[in-house]
């Protein structure tokens, strides 16, 4: 069976078209041309090849790498680390996206594939951290309410059953480097939920 085509997403289409346009723009070409060095290339038999090896320098680790292993990166990422403001509609988001994409040259850097992977991963972890912190803030609030309920009425709803399931999502991240604080916090909250549970069960 053929894969179902995802529905057309106007916002993503506009973003994608602009990213492609930007990648071919003079800003990117100039930035790449700023650092260009030819290195001798040897053939398999050890003799010098006619065409030299063109390499460019990564501005993060200073390594010289082949043209296919380097990209132009936005130092301050195009999509803000904590996402677009919730109050934004599609056109607000697109406007902000375009301004950040077509940024000042000082926000651009050449980056090798290795450094790019590391940076992308660090940004992903940072976004998760922000998201999980907000989610755990909400859960912690609910736990505090439940504690008050128990004090007042001697009982609370049995929402804790879902909380345990919910908290396991964060505990599953214990092997992800950079999320240690989130996992520790989740462990503390789980302990609190278990303590609540024993008072529910009385
Ligand atoms: Zn690098």
Please indicate, yes or no, whether residues 108 and 16 belong to a single structural domain of this protein.
Answer: yes
User: Who has greater pLDDT, 85 or 161?
Assistant: 85
Question: How many whole angstroms from 58 Cα to the centroid of ligand 1?
Answer: 5
Question: How many whole angstroms from 28 Cα to the centroid of ligand 1?
Answer: 17
Number of domains in the chain: 2
**41-50 per-position pLDDT tens digit:** 898 998 988 8
What span, in angstroms and rounded, lies between the C-alpha atoms of 31 and 67? 13
End-to-end, the C-alpha distance of the chain in Å comes to 55
Tell which of 112, 147, 164 closes a domain: 112
Note whether residue 118 is domain-resident: no
Domain span at 36: 10-112
The pTM (predicted TM-score) of the whole model is 0.72
Please indicate, yes or no, whether residues 95 and 179 belong to a single structural domain of this protein.
Answer: no
Tell which of 77, 112, 147 closes a domain: 112
Please indicate, yes or no, whether residues 70 and 145 belong to a single structural domain of this protein.
Answer: no
Please indicate, yes or no, whether residues 35 and 73 belong to a single structural domain of this protein.
Answer: yes
**2-34 per-position pLDDT tens digit:** 678 889 999 999 999 999 999 999 999 999 999
Tell which of 51, 78, 112 closes a domain: 112
Whole-number CA gyration radius for the chain: 25
Question: How many whole angstroms from 103 Cα to the centroid of ligand 1?
Answer: 22
Yes or no: say if 52 and 38 are a contact pair by the CB < 8 Å rule. Answer: yes
- Judged by DSSP in three states, 49 sits in coil
**131-159 per-position pLDDT tens digit:** 999 999 999 998 888 888 877 777 666 67
Question: How many whole angstroms from 140 Cα to the centroid of ligand 1?
Answer: 41
Please indicate, yes or no, whether residues 166 and 135 belong to a single structural domain of this protein.
Answer: yes
Question: How many whole angstroms from 110 Cα to the centroid of ligand 1?
Answer: 8
Note whether residue 170 is domain-resident: yes
Note whether residue 43 is domain-resident: yes
- pLDDT for the residue 202: 54
User: What mean pLDDT is predicted for residues 184-193?
Assistant: 93
Note whether residue 166 is domain-resident: yes
Give the strand pairing for 53-57 and 70-74: unpaired
Please indicate, yes or no, whether residues 55 and 130 belong to a single structural domain of this protein.
Answer: no
Please indicate, yes or no, whether residues 21 and 106 belong to a single structural domain of this protein.
Answer: yes
CA atoms within 13 A on the CB side of 193: 23
Note whether residue 2 is domain-resident: no
Please indicate, yes or no, whether residues 17 and 79 belong to a single structural domain of this protein.
Answer: yes
Please indicate, yes or no, whether residues 24 and 79 belong to a single structural domain of this protein.
Answer: yes
What span, in angstroms and rounded, lies between the C-alpha atoms of 143 and 186? 12
Please indicate, yes or no, whether residues 107 and 29 belong to a single structural domain of this protein.
Answer: yes
């Amino acid at each position: 069976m053929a894969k179902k085509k995802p529905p057309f997403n106007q916002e993503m289409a506009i973003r994608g078209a602009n990213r492609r346009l930007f990648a071919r723009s003079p800003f990117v070409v100039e930035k790449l041309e700023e650092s260009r060095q030819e290195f001798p290339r040897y053939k398999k038999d050890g003799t010098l090849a006619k065409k030299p090896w063109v390499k460019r320098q990564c501005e993060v680790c200073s390594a010289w790498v082949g043209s296919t292993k380097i990209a132009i990166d936005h130092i301050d990422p195009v999509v803000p680390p904590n996402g677009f403001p919730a109050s934004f509609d599609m056109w607000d988001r697109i406007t902000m996206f375009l301004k950040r994409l077509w940024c000042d040259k000082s926000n651009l850097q050449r980056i090798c594939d290795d450094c790019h992977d590391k940076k992308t991963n660090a940004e992903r972890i940072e976004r998760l951290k922000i998201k999980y912190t907000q989610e755990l803030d909400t859960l912690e609030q609910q736990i505090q309410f439940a504690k008050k309920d128990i004090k007042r009425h001697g009982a609370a709803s049995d929402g804790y059953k879902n909380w345990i399931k919910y908290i396991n999502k964060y505990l599953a991240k214990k092997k992800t480097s950079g999320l240690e604080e989130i996992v520790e916090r989740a462990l503390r909250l789980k302990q609190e939920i278990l303590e609540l549970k024993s008072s529910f069960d009385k």
